[in-house]
Amino acid sequence: MLNTDIAMGLARVTEAAALCSAKFMGRGDKIAADQAAVDGMEKAFTMMPVRGTVVIGEGELDNAPMLYIGQKVGIGEENMPEMDIAVDPLDGTVLIAKGLPNAIAVVAMGPRGSLFHAPDMYMKKIAVGPGAKGAIDINKSPKENILNVAKALNKDVTELTVIVQERERHDYIVSAAREVGARVKLFGEGDVAAAIACGFENTGVDILMGTGGAPEGVIAAAAIKCMGGEMQAKLEPHTEEEKQRCIKMGIEDVTKTLFIDDLVKSDDVYFAATGITDCDLLKGVLFSKNDWAVTHTVVMRAKTGTVRFVEAHHDLNKSSLVVK
């Protein structure tokens, strides 16, 4: 099995989700957009040369008819590798409903047992690209982390950009960043896209800080690992029920600092993302006349450090990726 077959297969998976959901951009129906992404992604997985198990998906079997946790995906032949798969067919449902930037389709994949089985709860996160690897500590204050990252990148702190989700719970991060003179970039939804932006210098984003979904955190960690960056995280269960769910999933110490090798245990991990609406890194789906569409995708593999940017032109009348 060629690894390029797997990498390009993942690109087709996220392309399918993006193509199907992009037609709902700005139409105010986030549920329909999400369902279209799920439909497209599931169909594309039937062509993937793996024996895959969804470990992070749309929810439990009772709540998600497709791409549910535990679902088997891929061609599934005996000679094919067994893989853990984490999916978010549409990261940014509100964004696409409103026609806003940063909606993407994402998939992470690694050998069986390699991806952290994150419960559906909040997770505190901090992430940087390879230039600031070793400079972050989630247990230190935002001010300390910002100053240490600026030093590692050989930047004046006034040149450093911190990306933070615009939520009241993050006011302390924004205040600390402004206090030391750092630039702040706020975003509304889509923290996977925000995390990916940290790994590429041309996005102008240097560090992600804040609390968001734990499943999205694992997917982001796969991307950061592929790029040679660093991410740390801590689960933040808010109820006794959430604490018990952690224990049930084998997480005995819910206060433990999770390093990138805890979130993604293998170096042989893959990541793919396709822009649905325009992002810092990727252009969104562009529809042109005569039923053609253009997608922009990034595909990465940690083991080789390979990062591919794929611009694909699709004849929608012939494409096997589009769910009619």
What does the pLDDT look like over 11-55, one tens digit per residue? 999 999 999 999 999 999 999 999 999 999 999 999 999 999 999
Q: What is the mean pLDDT of residues 58-72?
A: 79
| Residue 8 burial (CB count, 10 A) | 16
Q: What is the mean pLDDT of residues 223-239?
A: 94
Q: Is the pTM of this model over 0.85?
A: yes
Q: Which strands sit side by side in the sheet containing 161-165, from one edge to the other? A: 183-187, 161-165, 207-213, 122-128, 230-236, 258-259
Is 244's pLDDT higher than 70? Answer: yes
Task: Tell me the average pLDDT of the chain.
Answer: 92
Is 3's pLDDT higher than 70? Answer: no
Could you please state the CATH topology (level 3) that the domain comprising 6-113+268-315 is classified under: Fructose-1,6-Bisphosphatase; Chain A, domain 1 (3.30.540)
> Lowest-pLDDT range, 106-110, 138-142, 231-235, 248-252?
248-252
pLDDT at position 59? 75
127 or 59, higher pLDDT: 127
| Residue 312 burial (CB count, 10 A) | 16
pLDDT at position 205? 95
- Model confidence at 324, pLDDT cuts 50, 70, 90, reads low
pLDDT at position 135? 97
| Residue 152 burial (CB count, 10 A) | 16
User: What is the rounded CA–CA span in Å between residue 178 and residue 8?
Assistant: 42
pLDDT at position 243? 85
What are the Cα distances from residue 124, in Å, to 138, 215, 269?
8, 12, 22
- For 247, residues 6+ apart whose C-beta sits below 8 A from its C-beta are 254
User: What is the rounded CA–CA span in Å between residue 217 and residue 266?
Assistant: 16
Using the 8-state DSSP alphabet, how is residue 54 labeled? E
Does residue 165 contact residue 190 with C-beta atoms inside 8 Å? no
- Model confidence at 4, pLDDT cuts 50, 70, 90, reads low
User: What is the rounded CA–CA span in Å between residue 231 and residue 181?
Assistant: 23
User: What is the rounded CA–CA span in Å between residue 217 and residue 127?
Assistant: 10
- Is residue 91 a known part of a binding site? yes
Return the exposure string of 168-201: e unless at least 16 CB atoms fall within 10 Å of the residue's CB, then b.
eebeebbebbeebebbbbebebbbbbbbbbbbbe
Is 320's pLDDT higher than 80? Answer: no
What radius of gyration, in Å, describes the C-alpha atoms of the chain?
19
- Is residue 216 a known part of a binding site? yes
61 or 301, higher pLDDT: 301
- Is residue 58 a known part of a binding site? yes
Phi/psi for 181 (5° steps) reads 95, 10
Q: Which CATH architecture has domain 122-263?
A: 3-Layer(aba) Sandwich (3.40)
User: What is the rounded CA–CA span in Å between residue 93 and residue 33?
Assistant: 7
- Model confidence at 241, pLDDT cuts 50, 70, 90, reads confident
pLDDT at position 272? 97
- Is residue 42 a known part of a binding site? no
Does residue 152 contact residue 134 with C-beta atoms inside 8 Å? yes
- Model confidence at 1, pLDDT cuts 50, 70, 90, reads very low
Amino acid at residue number 92:
G
- Model confidence at 147, pLDDT cuts 50, 70, 90, reads very high
- In the chain, where the domains are located: 6-113+268-315, 122-263
Is 206's pLDDT higher than 50? Answer: yes
Does residue 86 contact residue 110 with C-beta atoms inside 8 Å? no
Return the residue matching tokens 């494409």.
319
112-127: pLDDT as tens digits: 999 998 888 899 999 9
pLDDT at position 317? 87
- Model confidence at 64, pLDDT cuts 50, 70, 90, reads low
Return the residue matching tokens 């951009």.
25
SS3 74: coil
User: What is the rounded CA–CA span in Å between residue 287 and residue 284?
Assistant: 10
Could you tell me the two tokens for 289?
Answer: 């006349």
